[in-house]
């Protein structure tokens, strides 16, 4: 194989899934050595599956020279070693690239100017001399020393992990999790990485394990494969998985004998990682039982929600028993008056209905009544955006459920059975978003006798997390349910609300013409044309015609992530238009995504340390290339991320419909094309449309819209909550 060494000038492409990279390298040339593929700017194109590198890093490569039909001569790397540069210019470039926390370009130049070729030796062996450099005080020196040491240890890990497709950022995470024992952990049980570190899945851990010579039939591998298969199903919203289905999926994943699975399941149950149960067959005879598998927390969550709801429902302490509500000054229809009365009379009640049916009016009247009776009450929603909407709509304080329960990253939920909420009445809005575990923690914090009202639209998409709590509660008949159906006159003037109800009833929506109205369709026959319209209406037409800000007011939703009209490509195109690169605007490529100051981003998982949650949207306020951090403002809540944590963020110019649940935006733009046929469902289109407050724009064609409207199949989730809540539950389980 040929050899090549040099400094990374820039990264043209990086795929975080497999490490495939295209980068430009400034080679080290010895004497009159002539290298193939050297361009006029003195650079060589390098391709291959490489660790994630940064400009300024020095690489030693082994591979072959290859000729690309379009791009010409390039070096195809098969082996890559990240090394320290040997030239003074290379040292300055490396130190100033952001690879070492605490050193920026200016400080790097001063360090190299002072120490010359001995720079790395000084940092390594006599780091106290860094104080001799202008601008380097004791604090900065300490940061540089710590960062240099961490970098050394991470690189040792990378030497081992690179061959298995693990990126630099994941190596940093491994080091932060295990410290000096990192290599020991990886070598002894690589599957532990999957359990402990966000961003490392079974396939990566398995690749490492196989390279280490671990037997495909090793117990750790069997257990990891079972849990991965279980999680894959649960991530689709299920609470448990039928044992037969789980075994089938695990065998497909592991490619091992069926006989190895039972002992793996038994070991996992002994470790209390899973729970094996027998449940009545779905739609089967009452005496027919099936074997199912739960993740242990979900089993106890389901049992807990069932027991606590039934306990609350049995309470005989109505807050209101009169025939007529006290005078509140709020005009209610008979339907709304009944809803408020039921909430006050029944300990557990549900208020559901589509947009414009007066759910907010009911809440205002309920709050006024509770104020009149001098009762303590609280309002909460699953997300920050939903809580803000609830507060604005009712004029009363509202919080997220996490904040209401005083969640602490260290202590968990401070509100619990030992420290319950001091409230007589709790209202939970956007209840369709409630997953099983959050509901259980909420119920744990309620005193006996507390009245609980769930408010939500049952026709929207269910929760992203496991369970379908609101639907199960309604169908179990354990709670008093009011479904508002009347659309009030002021709402009838809104095409958005009218069309939302048409969609929900299986009817195709009407579209405005000539700039008069709030619901539009821009015709497009395919996904590429629909995407072009999305970019055009977001960046040009809507701002010019209606005065909305393309960045702050308009939210693009898409049914899918892939394809020309999917979330990923739309984000790239909208970023380029709404927040283009500019001199002085800091940006950084992390996990295959270019993040830039000013970008609209979304949190993709709950991070309890930062108090930001899955679906939160914010803007990048600053990026520190020296300390390798970026700062995000989530509607007044600041959060700081290290480079290695940036995989928790994604661009949010476009997001999936599921991620937009509970939020309301002035303007919604959404492509609806037949290429999205797998996701074209009535509840998805309905959920998307109801996110728009002032203007809704679809791009696509009537055929696709008709497909979505007609498809009313609601995917049933594996859950036993409804059964546990029903009257026959104790007899059947």
CB contact set of 296 (below 8 Å; sequence gap of 6+): 272, 273, 274, 275
Strands across the sheet containing 289-295: 240-242, 289-295, 274-280
Question: Residue 441: what pLDDT?
Answer: 96
CA–CA distance, 115 with 394 (Å, rounded to integer): 66
CA–CA distance, 364 with 330 (Å, rounded to integer): 8
pTM: 0.81
CA–CA distance, 229 with 119 (Å, rounded to integer): 50
Among residues 507, 450, 456, 370, which one has the least CA distance to residue 690?
Answer: 456
CA–CA distance, 129 with 437 (Å, rounded to integer): 54
Q: With b meaning 16 or more CB within 10 Å and e meaning fewer, what string describes 595-610?
A: bbbbbbbbbbebbeeb
SS (H, E, C) 101-169: CCCCHHHHHHHHHHHHHHHHHHHHHCHHHHHHCCCCCHHHHHHHHHHHHHHHHHHHHHHHHHHHCCCHH
Q: Are 138 and 131 in contact (CB under 8 A)?
A: yes
Tell how many helices (H) and how many strands (E) occur in the chain: 27, 28
CA–CA distance, 3 with 27 (Å, rounded to integer): 11
Residues of the chain with pLDDT under 50: 729, 732
pLDDT tens digits, residue range 432-484? Answer: 999 999 999 999 999 998 999 999 998 888 888 899 999 999 999 999 999 99
pLDDT tens digits, residue range 530-540? Answer: 999 999 999 99
CA–CA distance, 274 with 259 (Å, rounded to integer): 19
Q: Are 61 and 5 in contact (CB under 8 A)?
A: yes
CA–CA distance, 183 with 156 (Å, rounded to integer): 9
Q: Are 246 and 233 in contact (CB under 8 A)?
A: yes
| Residue 295 phi, psi dihedral angles, 5° rounding | -70, 135
* H-state helical runs in 516-673: 527-536, 542-546, 567-578
Question: What ranges make up the beta strands (E) of 546-610?
Answer: 554-558, 587-590, 593-596, 600-603
Question: Residue 146: what pLDDT?
Answer: 84
Q: What is the DSSP letter of 608?
A: T
Q: Which residues pair with 408 in a beta bridge?
A: 412
Q: Are 82 and 155 in contact (CB under 8 A)?
A: yes
Question: Residue 490: what pLDDT?
Answer: 59
How far from each other are the two terminal CA atoms of the chain, in whole angstroms? 66
User: What DSSP assignment string belongs to 384-450?
Assistant: HHHHHHHHHHHSS--EEHHHHTTEETTTEES-BTTB----SEEEE-SGGG--HHHHHHHHHTPPTT-
Q: Are 180 and 153 in contact (CB under 8 A)?
A: yes
CA–CA distance, 334 with 342 (Å, rounded to integer): 12
Q: Are 393 and 346 in contact (CB under 8 A)?
A: no
CB contact set of 222 (below 8 Å; sequence gap of 6+): 250, 254, 256, 260, 261, 263, 264
Q: Which residues pair with 677 in a beta bridge?
A: none
Question: Residue 491: what pLDDT?
Answer: 58
CA–CA distance, 520 with 518 (Å, rounded to integer): 7
Among residues 650, 659, 654, which one has the least CA distance to residue 615?
Answer: 659
Tokens 């009545």 -> residue:
280
CA–CA distance, 96 with 109 (Å, rounded to integer): 8
Q: Are 317 and 449 in contact (CB under 8 A)?
A: yes
Question: Residue 321: what pLDDT?
Answer: 55
């Amino acid at each position: 194989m040929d050899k090549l060494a040099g400094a990374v000038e820039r990264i043209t492409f990086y795929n975080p899934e497999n490490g495939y990279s295209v980068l430009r390298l400034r080679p080290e040339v010895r004497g009159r050595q002539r290298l193939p593929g050297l361009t006029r700017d003195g650079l060589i194109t390098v391709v291959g599956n490489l660790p994630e590198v940064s400009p300024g890093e020095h690489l030693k490569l082994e591979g072959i020279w290859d000729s690309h039909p379009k791009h010409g001569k390039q070096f195809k790397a098969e082996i890559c070693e990240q090394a320290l540069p040997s030239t003074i210019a290379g040292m300055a470039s490396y130190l100033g690239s952001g690879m070492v926390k605490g050193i920026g370009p200016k400080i790097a130049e001063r360090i190299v100017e002072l120490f010359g070729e001995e720079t790395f030796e000084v940092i390594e062996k006599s780091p106290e001399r860094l104080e001799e450099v202008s601008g380097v005080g004791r604090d900065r020196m300490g940061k540089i020393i710590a960062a240099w040491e961490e970098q050394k240890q991470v690189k040792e890990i990378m030497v081992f992990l690179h061959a298995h497709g693990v990126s630099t950022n994941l190596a940093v995470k491994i080091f932060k999790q295990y410290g000096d024992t990192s290599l020991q952990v990886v070598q002894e049980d690589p599957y532990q990485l999957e359990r402990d570190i966000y961003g490392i899945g079974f396939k990566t851990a398995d690749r490492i394990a196989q390279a280490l010579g671990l037997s495909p039939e090793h117990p750790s591998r069997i257990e990891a494969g079972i849990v991965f298969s279980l999680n894959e199903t649960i991530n689709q919203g299920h609470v448990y998985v039928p044992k037969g289905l789980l075994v089938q999926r695990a065998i497909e994943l592991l490619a091992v004998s069926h006989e190895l699975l039972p002992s793996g399941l038994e070991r996992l149950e002994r470790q209390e990682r899973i729970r094996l149960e027998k449940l009545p067959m779905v739609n089967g005879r009452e005496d027919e039982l099936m074997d199912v598998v739960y993740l242990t927390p979900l089993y106890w969550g389901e049992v807990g929600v069932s027991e606590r709801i039934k306990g609350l429902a049995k309470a005989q302490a109505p807050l209101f028993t009169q025939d007529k509500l006290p005078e509140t000054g709020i005009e209610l229809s008979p339907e709304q008056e009944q809803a408020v009365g039921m909430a006050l009379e029944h300990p557990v009640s549900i208020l559901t209905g589509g947009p414009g049916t007066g759910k907010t009016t009911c809440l205002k009247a309920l709050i006024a009544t509770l104020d009149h009776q001098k009762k303590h009450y609280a309002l909460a929603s699953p997300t920050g955006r939903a809580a803000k909407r609830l507060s604005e709509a009712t004029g009363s304080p509202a919080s997220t459920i996490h904040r209401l329960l005083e969640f602490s990253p260290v202590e968990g939920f401070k509100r619990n059975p030992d420290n319950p909420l001091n409230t007589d009445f709790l209202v939970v809005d956007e209840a369709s978003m409630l997953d099983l575990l959050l509901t259980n923690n909420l119920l744990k914090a309620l005193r006996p006798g507390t009245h609980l009202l769930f408010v939500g639209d049952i026709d929207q998409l269910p929760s992203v997390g496991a369970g379908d709590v609101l639907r199960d509660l309604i169908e179990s008949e354990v709670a008093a349910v009011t479904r508002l159906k009347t659309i009030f006159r002021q709402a009838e003037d809104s095409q958005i609300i009218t069309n939302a109800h048409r969609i929900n009833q299986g009817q195709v929506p009407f579209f405005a013409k000539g700039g008069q109205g709030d619901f539009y369709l821009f015709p497009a026959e395919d996904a590429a044309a629909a995407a072009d319209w999305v970019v055009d209406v977001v960046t040009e037409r809507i701002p010019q015609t209606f005065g909305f800000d393309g960045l702050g007011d308009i939210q693009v939703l898409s049914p899918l992530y892939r394809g020309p009209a999917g979330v990923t490509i739309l984000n790239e195109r909208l970023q380029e238009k709404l927040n283009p690169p500019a001199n002085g605007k800091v940006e950084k490529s992390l996990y295959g995504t270019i993040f830039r100051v000013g970008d609209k981003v979304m949190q993709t998982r709950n991070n309890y340390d930062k108090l930001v949650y899955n679906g939160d949207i914010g803007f990048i306020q600053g990026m520190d290339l020296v300390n390798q951090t970026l700062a995000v403002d989530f509607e007044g809540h600041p959060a700081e991320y290290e480079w290695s944590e940036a995989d928790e963020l994604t661009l949010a110019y476009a997001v999936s419909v599921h991620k937009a649940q509970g939020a309301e935006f002035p303007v919604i733009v959404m492509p609806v094309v037949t290429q999205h046929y797998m996701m074209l469902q009535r509840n998805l289109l309905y959920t998307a449309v109801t996110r728009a407050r002032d203007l809704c724009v679809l791009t696509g064609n009537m055929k696709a819209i008709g497909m979505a409207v007609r498809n009313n199949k609601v995917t049933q989730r594996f859950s036993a909550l409804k059964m546990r809540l029903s009257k026959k539950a104790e007899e059947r389980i």
